[in-house]
């Protein structure tokens, strides 16, 4: 998105509409007159034609694209707000939740004199799990990224599993994310993994093809309960290079893509409550999944808008 478009978006974000004259006055004022009126009008018309962003409400934006294969619209919604407040999401409306909450585990977030979290942290309560269950559709998956278990965090990791069970989220599996060749030499042992916990709302829905039945009856496709295929022993994916990270806890797009393929279908809806780098949003957008991504930090939210805009422009250029 151009500087002019961003200026107008920021200035008129609480207005239902604005005139060309009003836009010209704002941009000229911000740019101290160092811009020509025809350029302002051109950027406005470009923004309208390309549909880069549609403002839904204050702090809520959508980016849309059409899936070339199905000719159906895919929507990426970005929400600036508290990811623990899901009151705006309907019951039984989400096909998957993939998220990495900013957990309050001081020992897991420090290495020597280094602090790995410069954002607000907290610990889940039972209400958080109740809300996740409420918005998820029956049989659908909740995927939680968590640190590798150690002496200082094992009680909290157990609490998450206990609270999930209490509200009716069934434990499905745990798979490690092996961060390629990366090794962290902090704590009691060297490590290069994070835990990825899979839960389902009640019994897992049927995503896995039943090959035996399909051989006997090839008139229709048969499925069995569970993810789309057996989950791997580990997800072996290189992490984002430190110099390229938007967020300290950023997950690689390829990792999210692999998870999406196991637990969702094209056109379904994915929620990320703590978007951070918005990698779940981008992976969903590129994989033709609808998504809702919530981020409370205004700087990360703005970076997320720019990231999704670039993703759309890259898609349109193909």
Task: Give the C-alpha separation, 165 to 199, whole Å.
Answer: 9
134 lies in the same domain as 245: yes
188 lies in the same domain as 138: yes
Q: Domain range for residue 33?
A: 1-50
Q: How many domains does the chain have?
A: 2
Domain end position, chosen among 31, 50, 69? 50
Q: Residue 195 in contact with residue 145, Cβ under 8 Å?
A: yes
**Quick one: how many helices (H) and strands (E) in the chain?**
9, 14
Q: In this structure, is the dihedral angle defined by the CA atoms of residues 12, 44, 308 and 78, taken in order, positive or negative?
A: positive
CATH number at residue 269: 3.40.50.150
Query: Considering only CA atoms, which of 177, 314, 199 is closest in space to residue 258?
Result: 177
List phi, psi (to 5°) of 135.
Answer: -80, -20
Residue 195: count other Cβ atoms within 10 Å of its Cβ. 15
35 lies in the same domain as 128: no
- Pull the structure tokens for residue 215: 């051989």
Identify the pLDDT of residue 222.
73
7 lies in the same domain as 98: no
Query: Considering only CA atoms, which of 97, 76, 95, 91 is closest in space to residue 144?
Result: 97
61 lies in the same domain as 27: no
Q: Which residue has the tokens 């009680």?
A: 155
8 lies in the same domain as 143: no
26 lies in the same domain as 81: no
Q: Residue 190 in contact with residue 150, Cβ under 8 Å?
A: no
Task: Give the C-alpha separation, 161 to 146, whole Å.
Answer: 11
- Pull the structure tokens for residue 219: 């008139």
List phi, psi (to 5°) of 291.
Answer: -150, 155
Domain end position, chosen among 13, 30, 50? 50
Buried b (16+ CB within 10 A) or exposed e, 21-57: eebeebbeebeeeebeeeebeebbeebeeeebbeeee
135 lies in the same domain as 282: yes
81 lies in the same domain as 38: no
Q: Which residues pair with 147 in a beta bridge?
A: 194
pLDDT in tens, the chain (318 residues): 345 655 665 565 555 455 667 667 777 776 565 666 666 666 555 554 445 556 655 666 677 777 666 667 888 889 888 999 998 888 999 999 999 999 887 655 444 444 444 557 899 999 999 999 999 999 999 999 998 888 888 999 999 999 999 999 999 999 999 988 766 666 555 568 899 999 999 999 999 887 777 777 777 777 888 999 999 999 999 998 888 888 888 999 999 999 999 999 999 999 999 999 999 999 999 999 999 999 999 899 988 888 888 887 776 665
46 lies in the same domain as 58: no
Enter the pTM of the model: 0.77
12 lies in the same domain as 127: no
202: DSSP letter: S
18 lies in the same domain as 98: no
- Pull the structure tokens for residue 119: 């954002």
Query: Considering only CA atoms, which of 197, 131, 188 is closest in space to residue 170?
Result: 197
């Amino acid at each position: 998105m151009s500087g002019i478009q961003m200026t107008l978006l920021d200035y008129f974000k609480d207005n239902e509409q604005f005139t060309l004259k009003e836009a010209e006055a704002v941009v000229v004022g911000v740019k101290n007159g160092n811009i020509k009126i025809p350029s302002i009008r051109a950027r406005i018309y470009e923004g309208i034609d390309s549909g880069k962003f549609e403002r839904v409400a204050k702090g809520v934006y959508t980016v849309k694209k059409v899936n070339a294969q199905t000719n159906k619209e895919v929507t990426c919604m970005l929400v600036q707000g508290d990811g623990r407040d899901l009151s705006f999401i309907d019951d039984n409306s989400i096909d998957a939740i993939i998220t990495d909450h900013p957990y309050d585990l001081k020992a897991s977030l420090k290495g020597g004199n280094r602090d790995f979290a410069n954002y607000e942290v907290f610990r889940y309560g039972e209400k958080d799990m109740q809300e996740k269950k409420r918005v998820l559709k029956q049989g659908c998956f909740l995927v939680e990224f968590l640190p590798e278990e150690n002496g200082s965090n094992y009680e909290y990791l157990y609490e998450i599993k206990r609270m999930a069970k209490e509200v009716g989220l069934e434990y499905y599996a745990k798979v490690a994310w092996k961060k390629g060749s990366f090794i962290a030499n902090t704590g009691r042992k060297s490590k290069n993994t994070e835990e990825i916990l899979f839960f389902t709302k009640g019994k897992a829905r049927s995503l896995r093809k039943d090959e035996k039945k399909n051989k006997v009856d090839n008139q229709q496709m048969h499925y069995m309960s569970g993810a789309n295929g057996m989950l791997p022993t580990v997800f072996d994916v290189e992490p984002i290079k430190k110099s390229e990270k938007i967020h300290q806890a950023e997950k690689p797009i390829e990792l999210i893509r692999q998870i999406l393929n196991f637990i969702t279908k094209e056109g379904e809806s994915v929620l990320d409550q703590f978007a951070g780098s918005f990698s779940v949003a981008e992976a969903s957008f590129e994989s033709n999944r609808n998504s809702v991504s919530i981020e409370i930090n205004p700087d990360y939210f703005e970076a997320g808008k720019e990231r999704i805009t670039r993703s759309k422009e890259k898609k349109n250029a193909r």
